[in-house]
Structure 1
Amino acid sequence: MSKDDPTSGPPAPDSALFDPAKYQMSDSVGYLLQRAKNTLAHSVEQEVSSLDITHAQASCLIMIATGRAGTVTDLGRELNTDMGSVTRLLSRMEKRGLVARQRRDDDRRVVDLLLTEQGQALADRLPTIFCKVLSQHFKGFSADELQLLKSMLRRVIDNYSG
């Protein structure tokens, strides 16, 4: 295939999809994604408040419990937040007896995150809460629609090269 062959390589971006002259914030994909994220987060916040934790703390617990974030650095990357915020969040959780931080013997710069018994007990309850919230927000969606949405969101994430 030659360079001029339109079937070779990834498709060129379709700038017609995003025309500044027709841009309306309330109909913007970015705006709608952010609103959807905020409504999900607010619903989770309401549900986990009965456990005396915040949405951010619940997210940390589930990420540590599932192995998604085993270190402080991993957690900062997953939460897409600065290390100072992560440190403050973990300090509050540590004071509550939910997590423990442990420096590695072979590399003292790395801080591993561990759930305490109390933290694990809360983490075990979170999938039920998260599924309840998702069920409320995705009422009327078919399994195929949900799979398509997840596939599309993964493509958006994968397109980010930063």
Structure 2
Amino acid sequence: MIRNLDERVGYQIGVAAHLIQNTYNHKLSEYDLTVAQAKVLYMLVNYGEQLQSELQNRLFIKGSTMNGIIDSMLKKQLIEKNDSKTDRRSKIITLTEKGKILEEKLWLSTKAMEIELMKGFSNEEKQLLLAWLKRITENFKK
């Protein structure tokens, strides 16, 4: 039986995701950030301060991974970590002014990358692709 990976949707998504991730990593390295750290900045700008466990769930990562991300961002003074007033075991993560400024720069910088990524696609095609990718994501969340 002949196997053709090029015809597998999962394989093509994986290849595209790998190339996109590499491009983002290269751009983010200019700011001494990882993709995961940039996502944390985005989540804090978009949703405000959050419990560390909420961030972890939104990013679909393990607690130990989240701890590493938080520690490195604390050292860079991009976030603050404080005890929750209702549960001292829980930690509240807040964006610093330095983090807000950096996230704004990243948002503008990655917007150009997004334009390059979608070159040749109509707005309708982009919306359709987004809908399909979100559906795939939902299929794996169940």
Asked if Structure 1 and Structure 2 have the same fold, meaning a TM-score greater than 0.5 normalized by the shorter chain, the answer is: yes
Who is 2:29 aligned against? 49
C-alpha RMSD of the superposition:
2.0
Please say if 1:117 is aligned against 2:91. no
Task: Choose from 84, 106, 115 the match for 1:104.
Answer: 84
Taking structure 1 as reference, are residues 59 and 33 closer, same or farther at Cα in structure 2, changes over 3 Å only?
same
Task: Choose from 13, 25, 38 the match for 1:58.
Answer: 38
Aligned-residue offset at 1:159 = 2.4
8 Å Cα contact 1:48/1:54 also seen in 2: yes
Task: Choose from 143, 146, 150 the match for 2:130.
Answer: 150
Task: Choose from 85, 103, 109 the match for 1:129.
Answer: 109
Aligned-residue offset at 1:145 = 0.2
SS of the residue aligned with 2:124?
helix
Instruction: Report which of the two has the higher share of helix.
Output: 2
SS of the residue aligned with 1:102?
strand
User: Percent same amino acid among aligned pairs?
Assistant: 26
Who is 2:63 aligned against? 83
Q: CA separation in 1, counterparts of 2:136 and 2:41?
A: 26
Q: Which ranges of structure 2 fall in alignment gaps of 5 or more residues? A: none
For these two proteins, the number of residue pairs brought into alignment is 142
Taking structure 2 as the reference length, the TM-score comes to 0.88
8 Å Cα contact 1:25/1:31 also seen in 2: yes
Task: Choose from 3, 15, 18 the match for 1:38.
Answer: 18
Aligned-residue offset at 1:55 = 2.0
SS of the residue aligned with 1:51?
coil
AA at the equivalent of 1:83? G
SS of the residue aligned with 2:30?
helix
8 Å Cα contact 2:73/2:79 also seen in 1: yes
Taking structure 1 as the reference length, the TM-score comes to 0.78
Q: Which ranges of structure 1 fall in alignment gaps of 5 or more residues? A: 1-20
Aligned-residue offset at 1:89 = 1.2
CA radius of gyration, larger in:
1
Who is 1:26 aligned against? 6
